[in-house]
Amino acid sequence: MKILFISGTSENNLTDYMNDLILHGLRELYGNDVVDYPGCWYLYSDEVKKRNFDTNKLWGKGFNLNNSLHEYDLIDREDISTKIKSKYFDLIVYGSIRRSSHFLDEVIKSNNKYIFIDGEDDRVIDNNCANKSLYFKRELLKETSNIKPINFSIPKEKIVKAINFNPKNLLSPLIPGKIQTYIYNDEKSYNQMYQNSIFALTYRKGGWDCFRHYEILMNGCIPLHLEIDKCPDKTLEKLPKDLLKEVLNKYKWILSNYNPFFIYKYKFLDIKKIMSFLISSTKSKISLEDFIHENQEVFEIKNKLLNYTKNNLTTEVTVKGIIERVKSL
């Protein structure tokens, strides 16, 4: 299957998680038959090395995604317009339609098969595009015949093989929104931080979907998603939201062990959390060892979430779902 992937890449925009994750899944499934244009060179280990580029300059320091592809120079990115007109490609994927619509008029006039990916963190939909073909939307509220939900994923090679039965932290040291905890300068130590923790805090940022959710899961850690009960049905559709709700309801009490001003952004602070901390501070805090002794089931939950991640949240699985829908066109 020959696929043209129109990326949203530009010199001023080198990281677009949805764009990059979909490309990764396509390349995993179809190899060099996938042509990314413009080339997402920052994802290719050989090209990053050739350019002597520091991926720490990328959003999220490039952890768990950049350097994940190979053979950049083996992809033929010449004569794209001619190939579009001759219907050389079996499918054309717009990886970030609101950032790039290269060749769209030619694609439509030549009667190519094409789809749109919208990974922006808002609820805006380009109805002009959505009326033309399948439109996959990240922060979706309502599904239609043409507009379908999509969420982030994770490269399968990044997922740990097994959970850690000897964690060092009850709650991961990295606290979202607390810059002073962003102390990890390499991917290995960053991932080990989650692997060594039972729980990790997460919540929505600009949008509900966030790469952090998947990084926590891929490392065999349990997300405490503070707003999961408010998430719309068609957003984060592939996450195990029911299980994550159960986890939050059952274990959110552990957060009273921590100073709320340290672990919460201001939007989550309230008098109840502050009073709960003050009351708990007069008592001895539960130790990691005591928690594990009294809550052995957390390892079952870790395993369940890790297996779910392997089976449902990889870039390959996400792309397979897209291709199945495309076959109905």
For range 117-145, the mean pLDDT:
96
Q: Which CA distances in Å does 220 have to 185, 217, 242, 315?
A: 21, 5, 18, 18
- Which of 52-66, 190-204, 222-236, 307-321 is predicted with the least confidence, judged by mean pLDDT? 52-66
Over residues 283-289, mean pLDDT: 82
* Three-state DSSP state, 63: coil
Distance (Å, whole) CA 195 – CA 189: 10
Who wins on pLDDT, 265 or 68?
Answer: 68
The pLDDT confidence band at residue 281, using thresholds 50, 70 and 90, is low
Q: Residue 114's pLDDT is what?
A: 97
**Can you tell me the mean pLDDT for 306-312?**
98
- Is a pLDDT exceeding 90 seen at residue 270? no
- For 158-190, what is each residue's pLDDT tens digit? 999 999 999 999 999 999 988 899 999 999 999
Across the strands, what pairs with 201?
Answer: 224
Predicted confidence (pLDDT) at residue 329 exceeds the cutoff of 90? no
As given in the structure block, the two tokens for residue 59 are 């959003």
Please report the sign of the dihedral spanned by the C-alpha atoms of residue 302, residue 312, residue 316, residue 176. Answer: negative
Find residue 10's DSSP bridge partners: 13
Q: Tell me: the pLDDT tens digits for 39-97? A: 999 999 999 999 999 988 888 899 999 889 999 999 999 999 999 999 999 999 999 99
Predicted pLDDT of residue 285: 79
So where are the chain's domains?
3-153+314-326, 160-312
Contact 309, 219 (CB under 8 A): no
Does 1.10.20 match the CATH number of domain 3-153+314-326? no
Is the CA virtual torsion 212, 189, 25, 27 positive or negative? positive
Residue 180: both structure tokens together: 């002073």
What would the two tokens of residue 148 be?
């379908």
Report the pLDDT value the prediction gives residue 301, as an integer from 0 to 100. 98
* Mean pLDDT value across the chain: 93
pLDDT at 216 exceeding the cut of 80: yes
H-helix segments, the chain: 17-30, 45-50, 80-85, 104-109, 127-130, 187-195, 211-218, 241-251, 260-263, 271-280, 288-294, 297-312, 315-326
